[in-house]
Amino acid sequence: DQQVKQNSPSLSVQEGRISILNCDYTNSMFDYFLWYKKYPAEGPTFLISISSIKDKNEDGRFTVFLNKSAKHLSLHIVPSQPGDSAVYFCAASLGNEKLTFGTGTRLTIIP
Amino acid sequence: ETGVTQTPRHLVMGMTNKKSLKCEQHLGHNAMYWYKQSAKKPLELMFVYSLEERVENNSVPSRFSPECPNSSHLFLHLHTLQPEDSALYLCASSQEFKDTQYFGPGTRLTVL
């Protein structure tokens, strides 16, 4: 049973526009969520996180939104830049337990 | 060196070989992790070490054997692997068990 799902395996966005990456989870007890970015042949890099007590966290061009009632997490990147092309993983954790990762979404920014 | 390093970056081995993957973290973290990433699958957590003690083993076949000699080093010993074990093996570390994890670049393993 996959507890964290990223239903879009790929996404293409024009440079300068907004990229929206989505993530759904099934365990309502998750209390901490993260987004990671991964370039080919490199390990994932932490991008941004949000605690379940918040519904929004912003860091520069990156904003993460949390909708607890819908068990939905999204990452907004605006404006999108060519260097944002990568695979994005969302992850969730419960209390002191390990992170559970989604399958990833490949984002391609079109110049 | 800073962050999390992994060696080798690429490894090709036969099914009868024995090899080891090495991970080193320079962040003063207390927890270290081995993940397997196969194409179109979620990252699979294999092992977790916290304060050099194994705290999690997610039903990983015995042909994978982890070793954590100290809080900065983590090894994954491989023997009699199968072709389906070909994947990217990622090491990560975090300050404590639940904290944000920092990943190494991974070892691309191919089993022939």
Q: Using an 8 Å CB-CB cutoff, list chain A residues near B102.
A: 46
Structure-token pair, residue B6: 């992994």
C-beta of residue A48 within 8 angstroms of C-beta of residue A75: yes
Q: Do B43 and A2 touch (CB under 8 A)?
A: no
Q: Does B103 touch chain A (CB under 8 A)?
A: yes
Structure-token pair, residue B86: 């070909």
pLDDT score for A97: 67
Q: Residues 6 or more apart from A3 whose CB is under 8 A from it?
A: A25, A26, A27, A30, A92, A100
pLDDT score for B40: 67
pLDDT score for B1: 54
Q: Is the pLDDT of residue A3 over 90?
A: no
Q: Do A101 and B56 touch (CB under 8 A)?
A: no
Q: At A77, is the secondary structure helix, strand, or coil?
A: strand
Structure confidence by residue, pLDDT tens digits, A12-44: 999 999 999 999 999 999 998 999 998 876 778
Structure confidence by residue, pLDDT tens digits, B40-83: 677 888 988 887 777 776 778 999 999 999 989 999 999 999 99
Question: Which of A96, A99, A106 to probe by mutation at the B interface, max B CB count within 10 Å?
Answer: A99
Structure confidence by residue, pLDDT tens digits, B1-38: 569 999 999 999 988 889 999 999 999 999 999 999 88
Q: At B104, is the secondary structure helix, strand, or coil?
A: coil
Amino acid code (one letter) for B98? K
Structure confidence by residue, pLDDT tens digits, A46-84: 899 999 999 999 999 999 999 999 999 999 999 999 999
Q: Does B10 touch chain A (CB under 8 A)?
A: no
pLDDT score for B98: 67
φ and ψ of A11, to 5 deg:
-150, 135
Q: Using an 8 Å CB-CB cutoff, list chain A residues near B97.
A: 96-98
Q: Residues 6 or more apart from B107 whose CB is under 8 A from it?
A: B6, B7, B8, B9, B10, B11, B21, B88, B89
What is the C-alpha separation between B65 and B60, in angstroms, rounded?
9
What chain A residue is nearest to B49 in terms of C-alpha separation? Answer: A98
First to last CA, chain B: 32
Q: Residues 6 or more apart from B2 whose CB is under 8 A from it?
A: B26, B27
pLDDT score for A96: 63
Structure-token pair, residue B1: 């060196």
Helix count and strand count (H, E) for chain A = 0, 11
Q: How many CB pairs under 8 A join A and B?
A: 53
Q: Do A43 and B33 touch (CB under 8 A)?
A: no
pLDDT score for A15: 97
pLDDT score for A40: 78
Q: Do B98 and A95 touch (CB under 8 A)?
A: yes
Name the region of B63 (left: φ>0; alpha: ψ -120 to 50; beta: rest): alpha
pLDDT score for B6: 95
pLDDT score for A106: 94
pLDDT score for A103: 84
A93 DSSP β-pair partners: A32
DSSP annotation of A78 reads S
Q: Does B40 touch chain A (CB under 8 A)?
A: yes
